[in-house]
Structure 1
């Protein structure tokens, strides 16, 4: 990016927030803080009214750029984002994004509009196969509650015990993992943080009451806390037949994959995990295509699981079901 483009991008960035830290600009554009200071001075000399607060950041004082044209690549990126939103967000978000995308397309050059129309039919995203949500109109309300620190009353279906509960919660953040959106919130009934799957919320009511964000963990702090465990980390070394490794490219990371070594027809993989039992059950699917080099405790777990399966499928066990 040349300097002129960077100055324009910095000015646009300053319009996106009330205050922008110098380090944030340095990180985004891959430049030093000294370069940030020099660029800001250049904008000021060009007549842009930029204010600064020591230790806080920069801000614009009553200044707005005229509408900015999008490049073809930027518009294509928005189209791709729309495809993901179409399948991974609910109706409340889809509606608003579609409206925003129409506004963006309306200011594009005719050639870029035709480019998006041609591209639209060539990109698709498979809809995730999870249970149908109780409501298809919650994500927008949840975002507003998080931003404005509202207390919510939720009617929730707990899957593990098939129970219905009603809670008052203070919305901390939204987190997407394991194919679903999750509301992270402080539950007033439990007096602790809880993880609620959004597709299991039967009903959502905004109480209008606000809570203080200073009294609660941020989403990042919550995730850091739940990511910690007091269980000892175990070093695991496994040797797989190379022919089966193509089936585990994503899954292996969930079990603490660290690195691998190419052994020709085999691959040695190194893992670190506190959950040997879970790792053992995952390895069952690879049968004799995997060999455990260490630890012996994992080898013993696999032997125990194999014996359980063998016992379960003996003729006497099967006959007891009839």
Structure 2
């Protein structure tokens, strides 16, 4: 990237954020801090009202804006890919807002880029059989993002794993992330008085309250870095024939599926679960065609369940017989 393009890119980043640190600019453009200071000085000399504060960063005076930026063909192509992903992997409200933003982006494209974009729209498709938002009017993601930006508590009606029914909870979302075909939020739960991981498609209802957050939260990346320990997740590995594996292709995503490897005519699947007994009950449905590699606690739990079943089978029939 030449110096002119770099300075233009720095200006765009300054306009897109409230505060930008010199170190962040240096890392993004792979330049030294000395070069950052020189580029910032060049922008100031060109009349851009930049405000710099030692130890904080740079910002642009409120009200200053450049005319619409022209996008490259490469950038325009990525918009269409992102739009297709948004259509499949976000909730209804977020999709609508992103589509509205895309109309504004497309409005500033040159004629040649508009023609290319219109042509590409018919050549990109995202297929997803495991829709994380089965309800078409779900707005969980939009509500969570609003809560995070405004730092206001969210009330959700949530169906937890192995629960008898939905329960109202008050939470302070830390952030959202997408994993294994589902959207999740890590949040402080007032019911449990601790941080919990919530799957967004299990939220039957979500609404932002007027109550502000009562806690300061670490960045989302810090929570994700130690998610195994924080959630007490256990690694489960099972092995089965490929002919049997195809029958659990959709079910496995509901039980913490992480990855799988194929060895000959067998498939080894890895799962992360915080509910061993819940996983064991599902495993028993496929047990005749599968083998547990680890952990031992899963094997012990299944043995316990089998003993309980055997004891129930030995009990005398207490249902009165009706004479015919």
| Structure 2 length-normalised TM | 0.70
**1:256-287 deviation digits (Å, cap 9, x = unpaired):** 99xxxxxxx9xxxxxxx9x9x99xx9xx9xx9
- Equivalent residues in 2 for 1:187-206, closer than 5 Å: 187-206=189-208
Partner of 1:315: none
In terms of mean alpha carbon deviation, does 113-122 or 30-39 score higher?
30-39
Seen in structure 2, the aligned counterparts of structure 1 residues 162 and 30 have a Cα distance that, compared at 3 Å, is: farther
1:187 is displaced (CA, Å) by 0.7
In terms of mean alpha carbon deviation, does 175-184 or 218-227 score higher?
218-227
SS at match of 1:52: strand
Partner of 1:102: 103
1:212 is displaced (CA, Å) by 4.3
**1:65-91 deviation digits (Å, cap 9, x = unpaired):** 111111111111111100100100111
1:192 is displaced (CA, Å) by 0.3
How many residues are aligned here? 269
Root-mean-square deviation (Å) = 4.1
Q: Retained in 2: the 8 A contact 1:134–1:201?
A: no
SS at match of 2:70: coil
Verify: 1:35 aligned to 2:35, yes or no. yes
Seen in structure 2, the aligned counterparts of structure 1 residues 213 and 135 have a Cα distance that, compared at 3 Å, is: farther
Q: Retained in 2: the 8 A contact 1:157–1:163?
A: yes
1:169 is displaced (CA, Å) by 1.1
Partner of 1:242: none
Seen in structure 2, the aligned counterparts of structure 1 residues 57 and 227 have a Cα distance that, compared at 3 Å, is: farther
Seen in structure 2, the aligned counterparts of structure 1 residues 299 and 72 have a Cα distance that, compared at 3 Å, is: closer
Q: What is the rounded CA distance, in whole Å, between the counterparts of 2:295 and 2:129 in structure 1?
A: 37
Verify: 1:88 aligned to 2:105, yes or no. no
SS at match of 1:15: helix
Seen in structure 2, the aligned counterparts of structure 1 residues 45 and 4 have a Cα distance that, compared at 3 Å, is: same
Q: Retained in 1: the 8 A contact 2:184–2:197?
A: yes
Verify: 1:157 aligned to 2:172, yes or no. no
Partner of 2:126: 125
1:203 is displaced (CA, Å) by 1.2
Q: What is the rounded CA distance, in whole Å, between the counterparts of 1:92 and 1:174 in structure 2?
A: 16
- Equivalent residues in 2 for 1:224-235, closer than 5 Å: 224-228=225-229
**Structure 2 unpaired stretches of 5+:** 236-252, 265-271, 307-324
Partner of 1:25: 25
Verify: 1:221 aligned to 2:207, yes or no. no
Seen in structure 2, the aligned counterparts of structure 1 residues 88 and 256 have a Cα distance that, compared at 3 Å, is: closer
1:136 is displaced (CA, Å) by 1.8
Q: Retained in 2: the 8 A contact 1:134–1:200?
A: no
Partner of 1:270: none
In terms of mean alpha carbon deviation, does 92-101 or 24-33 score higher?
24-33
Partner of 1:185: 187
Q: What is the rounded CA distance, in whole Å, between the counterparts of 1:128 and 1:230 in structure 2?
A: 27
Partner of 1:54: 54
- Equivalent residues in 2 for 1:241-320, closer than 5 Å: 254=258
Partner of 1:78: 79
**1:299-320 deviation digits (Å, cap 9, x = unpaired):** 997xx89xx9xx9xxxxxxxxx
Verify: 1:143 aligned to 2:145, yes or no. yes
Q: Retained in 2: the 8 A contact 1:185–1:194?
A: yes
**Structure 1 unpaired stretches of 5+:** 235-250, 258-264, 266-272, 288-297, 312-322
Q: What is the rounded CA distance, in whole Å, between the counterparts of 1:116 and 1:195 in structure 2?
A: 38
Q: Retained in 2: the 8 A contact 1:172–1:185?
A: yes
Aligned mate of 2:175, from 173, 176, 189 = 173
